[in-house]
């Protein structure tokens, strides 16, 4: 376009210059004089040329302005490109550093695994030695018992004193041998616990390394085929409950993710003690959460893990169905006196209405009777829209409040209404509160309750 305009204007300028100079015309007459006729360009042509020059100047100005804008855009893009290249370089350096650290950590893990294998071999040899010692001790005990029997069968008054002395010596030896056997068994148990903790920590480190590896892009995943899909389908090792987290080395109470067998992962609050980790399933402390909920809310759970909450019957069932579990209930009154209830239990699934069954071998204490008496046989869970209690033509959850394993309404309810001190004066209101009948009575609203579960093995260490 610019070239066409410039060509046209140049042509017009040439015409103007040609018409602007005078031209000589020679006549055919015999006169010797020459007449000169001067011709000038018309005024319209001059205007056209001037207008064209003005348009040319404006076009040149617009072209220069557009060129400046394009140059600024190119400069900005170059700056962005340079900055991006610099950031990519830094990111590449960071990834290389992380890769080096990861390789170093993997090497350290391999070294620890080798050490653990050596320790395992030593423990195995030690266990075999201890078993040999136990067999030797058993043989010696058998010989001592035969000797005792022989001494007891041998009569005679003259041997009475000697037999008595020998019997005492044998008894001392037997006690010493028994003590040695107990010490050996304790040593084996401690070594086994250490070995379990080491294995759990190694599994945790392996899981962390696997999770920290960079994931392949979508294009690379599409090219790898079935092998990539098999790697993605392999689940990362997540602890099944809080006690397994404790065995892996976690000692701080707080929020963690767990994944019971045949369940999705979910968040729980772990109460860590010196003996193990407890999974908290319920907490009441200030009345900030309304526990008068319907069936589906109690199945899924509600509240805040850092405050008042109910974990959810389905989650509790998934955790506890893995084996023998202990229900640990902590209570507090408004004088800050505390009470604790421990009950072995099983919790059925939704097909049983999440029935609770306690399985204590020893007789129940008075404190345990508020829940243990009703749940020696499976007792289903009840809410005001799911009446599963054992009282005919009466809905305990609706008459009281919240959801609970109600039998005949009056023994316990830790999910009732939260009343601040002093309690309400009306008796029918106090019946709706959080209560534990065999501790402070049915009409005493408690200040605090917390329910926790853990494998039964933790009870043997407490």
Quick: pLDDT tens for 268-314: 999 999 989 999 999 999 999 999 999 999 999 999 999 999 999 99
pLDDT over threshold 60, residue 141: yes
pLDDT over threshold 70, residue 18: no
Confidence band, pLDDT 50/70/90 cuts, at residue 222: very low
Most confident of 32-41, 119-128, 369-378: 369-378
In the three-class reduction of DSSP (H, G, I as helix; E, B as strand; rest coil), residue 386 is classed as strand
- Between CA 449 and CA 404 the distance in angstroms is 14
Residue 88 burial class via C-beta count within 10 angstroms: exposed 0-12, middle 13-18, buried 19 and up: exposed
Over the stretch 183-211, which tens digit does the pLDDT of each residue have?
777 777 677 666 666 666 666 665 556 55
Do 352 and 380 contact (CB within 8 A), yes or no?
yes
- Between CA 340 and CA 187 the distance in angstroms is 31
Count, residues in the chain? 462
Q: Is the dihedral of CA 219, 224, 230, 236 positive or negative?
A: negative
Confidence band, pLDDT 50/70/90 cuts, at residue 164: low
- Between CA 205 and CA 109 the distance in angstroms is 8
Confidence band, pLDDT 50/70/90 cuts, at residue 460: low
Confidence band, pLDDT 50/70/90 cuts, at residue 50: confident
Over the stretch 331-372, which tens digit does the pLDDT of each residue have?
999 999 999 999 999 999 999 999 999 988 889 999 999 998
Lowest-confidence segment of 67-71, 183-187, 319-323, 397-401 by average pLDDT: 183-187
Place of tokens 């620890």: 112
More confident residue, 226 or 425: 425
Q: Where are the beta strands (DSSP E) in 250-394?
A: 254-258, 266-272, 277-284, 302-303, 309-310, 325-332, 338-347, 356-358
The confidence score (pLDDT) of residue 23 equals 44
- Between CA 176 and CA 446 the distance in angstroms is 51
Lowest-confidence segment of 94-103, 123-132, 368-377, 396-405 by average pLDDT: 123-132
Q: What angle do CA 87, 90, 92 make, to 5 degrees?
A: 110
The confidence score (pLDDT) of residue 42 equals 76
Task: Tell me which H or E stretch contains 452.
Answer: strand 448-455
Task: Tell me which H or E stretch contains 449.
Answer: strand 448-455
- Between CA 350 and CA 231 the distance in angstroms is 34
pLDDT over threshold 80, residue 328: yes
Q: For the residues 417-434, what does the mean pLDDT come to?
A: 88
- Between CA 326 and CA 312 the distance in angstroms is 17
The overall average pLDDT reported for the chain is 80
Percent of the chain whose pLDDT exceeds 90? 38
Lowest-confidence segment of 25-39, 42-56, 136-150, 325-339 by average pLDDT: 25-39
């Amino acid at each position: 376009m610019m070239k066409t305009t410039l060509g046209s204007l140049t042509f017009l300028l040439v015409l103007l210059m040609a018409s602007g100079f005078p031209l000589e015309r020679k006549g055919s007459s015999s006169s010797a004089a020459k007449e000169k006729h001067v011709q000038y360009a018309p005024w319209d042509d001059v205007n056209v040329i001037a207008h064209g020059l003005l348009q040319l100047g404006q076009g040149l100005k617009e072209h220069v302005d557009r060129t400046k804008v394009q140059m600024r855009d190119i400069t900005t893009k170059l700056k962005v490109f340079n900055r991006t290249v610099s950031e990519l370089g830094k990111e590449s350096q960071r990834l290389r550093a992380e890769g080096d650290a990861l390789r170093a950590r993997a090497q350290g893990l391999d070294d620890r695994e080798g050490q653990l294998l050596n320790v395992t071999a030593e423990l195995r040899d030690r266990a075999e030695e201890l078993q040999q010692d136990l067999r030797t001790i058993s043989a010696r005990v058998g010989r001592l018992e035969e000797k005792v029997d022989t001494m007891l069968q041998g009569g005679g008054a003259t041997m009475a004193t000697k037999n008595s002395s020998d019997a005492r010596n044998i008894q001392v030896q037997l006690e010493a041998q028994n003590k040695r056997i107990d010490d050996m068994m304790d040593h084996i148990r401690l070594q086994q616990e250490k070995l379990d903790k080491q294995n759990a920590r190694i599994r945790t480190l392996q899981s962390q390394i696997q999770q920290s590896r960079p994931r392949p892009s979508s294009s690379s995943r599409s090219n790898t085929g079935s092998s990539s899909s098999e790697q993605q389908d392999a689940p990362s090792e997540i602890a099944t409950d809080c006690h397994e987290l404790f065995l892996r080395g976690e000692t701080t109470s707080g929020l963690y993710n767990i994944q019971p067998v045949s369940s999705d992962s979910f968040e729980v609050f772990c109460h860590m003690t010196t003996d193990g980790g407890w999974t908290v399933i319920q907490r009441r402390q200030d009345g900030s959460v309304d526990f008068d909920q319907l069936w589906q809310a109690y199945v899924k759970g509600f509240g805040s893990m850092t405050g008042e909450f109910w974990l959810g019957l389905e989650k509790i069932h998934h955790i506890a169905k893995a084996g023998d579990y202990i229900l640990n209930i902590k209570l507090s009154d408004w004088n800050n006196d505390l009470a604790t209830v421990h009950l072995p239990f099983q919790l059925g699934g939704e097909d049983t209405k999440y029935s609770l069954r306690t399985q204590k071998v020893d007789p129940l204490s008075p404190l345990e009777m508020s829940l243990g008496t009703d749940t020696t046989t499976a007792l289903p869970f009840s809410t005001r829209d799911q009446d599963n209690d054992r009282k005919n033509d009466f809905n305990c959850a609706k008459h009281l409040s919240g959801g609970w394993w109600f039998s005949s309404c009056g023994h316990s309810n830790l999910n009732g209404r939260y009343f601040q001190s002093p309690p309400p004066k009306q008796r029918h209101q106090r019946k709706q509160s959080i209560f534990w009948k065999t501790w402070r009575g049915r009409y005493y609203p408690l200040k605090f309750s917390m329910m926790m579960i853990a494998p039964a093995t933790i009870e043997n260490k407490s």
